[in-house]
């Protein structure tokens, strides 16, 4: 598969991760508040974790398993976070995920990145459905999904155990408005 031409939004450029992202990635992903509302992000987060992330997201892209991108700010190239789609080709669907570094919260960046991926997933990749989930307490994440047009589909009660506590998981999804019957 060829290199991915970055997705552009008003303020953002979403591109594949590069080795040069590793130092900023360690800083952003190492924040405890980021790990607290994500399922699989290791904490503490080392340079080896960041290197593995860069290599694995590029491998998964090449093998068409996912499109997991660095969210960067157009004006200065700064790495803000990550956003991506993980494909289930058998069912023509994908799971949307995103994460924005704490210093950049509250600027609409997650919403802008999520919206770009939803549009790309439906218009360019012809996905039939995109879904997502978040920890029940993560109200900002629910808002990001609703702003993308996703509908709350249900709750998995006490489904996840994180740092010794059980959490409800809220499920969201939407169908491709152009192809869904």
Ligand X SMILES: CC(C)(COP(=O)(O)OP(=O)(O)OC[C@H]1O[C@@H](n2cnc3c(N)ncnc32)[C@H](O)[C@@H]1OP(=O)(O)O)[C@@H](O)C(=O)NCCC(=O)NCCS
* Binding interface with ligand X (CB under 6 A): 34, 37-38, 98-100, 105-111, 134, 138-141, 143-144, 147
Q: Which is nearer to ligand X, 141 or 176 (CB)?
A: 141
- Reference 163, options 62, 36, 78; nearest CA is 36
Task: Give the pair of three-digit tokens for residue 51.
Answer: 């290197």
Q: Which is nearer to ligand X, 89 or 139 (CB)?
A: 139
Collapsing DSSP states into helix, strand and coil, what is residue 21? helix
Supply the minimum distance, in Å, between the C-beta of residue 181 and ligand X. 29
Q: How far separated are the first and last CA of the chain, in Å rounded?
A: 31
Containing H/E element for 139? helix 139-147
CA 11 from chain center: how many Å?
A: 17
Q: Which is nearer to ligand X, 58 or 138 (CB)?
A: 138
Supply the minimum distance, in Å, between the C-beta of residue 15 and ligand X. 18
Supply the minimum distance, in Å, between the C-beta of residue 31 and ligand X. 8
Supply the minimum distance, in Å, between the C-beta of residue 27 and ligand X. 14
Burial class (CB in 10 A: 0-12, 13-18, 19+), 130: buried
Q: Which is nearer to ligand X, 38 or 93 (CB)?
A: 38
């Amino acid at each position: 598969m060829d290199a991915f031409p970055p997705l552009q939004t008003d303020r953002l450029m979403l591109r594949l991760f590069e080795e040069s992202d590793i130092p900023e990635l360690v800083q952003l992903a190492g924040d405890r508040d980021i790990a607290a509302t994500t399922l699989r992000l290791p904490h503490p987060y080392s340079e080896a974790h960041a290197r593995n992330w860069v290599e694995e997201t590029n491998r998964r892209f090449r093998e068409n398993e996912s499109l997991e991108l660095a969210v960067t700010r157009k004006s200065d190239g700064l790495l803000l976070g990550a956003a991506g789609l993980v494909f289930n080709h058998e069912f023509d669907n994908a799971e949307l995920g995103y994460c924005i570094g704490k210093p950049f919260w509250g600027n609409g960046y997650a919403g802008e990145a999520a919206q770009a991926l939803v549009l790309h997933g439906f218009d360019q990749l012809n996905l039939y459905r995109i879904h997502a989930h978040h920890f029940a307490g993560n109200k900002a994440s629910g808002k990001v999904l609703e702003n993308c047009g996703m509908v709350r589909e249900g709750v998995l009660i006490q489904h996840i155990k994180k740092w010794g506590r059980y959490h409800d998981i809220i499920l969201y999804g939407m169908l491709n408005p152009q192809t869904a019957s």
